[in-house]
Amino acid sequence: MKTLSISRQDIAAMTAKDVEALATRLESDNYSNAFESLNDWHLLRAIAFQRPELVESYVHLLDLEPYDEA
């Protein structure tokens, strides 16, 4: 199994097109195994925390939307 190894510099170099391609893969959910999708999900989550402006259109893929627990 290949583990995800991405640095802050890698995320800083990502473009909106890179993030769009990542989100498209996640939305299509056409992976050969669950670990590939999990790696993409973790990458999108890391981008969301470091460069939230790139993920605004794809936050629904992360389940990070605020909700009321009451």
Q: How far apart are CA 14 and CA 47, in angstroms?
A: 9
Give pLDDT tens digits for 14-55. 999 999 999 999 999 999 998 999 999 999 999 999 999 999
pTM above 0.85, yes or no: no
Q: Distances from the Cα of 40 to the Cαs of 20, 22, 69, in angstroms?
A: 12, 7, 28
Q: 64: pLDDT confidence band, cut at 50, 70 and 90?
A: low
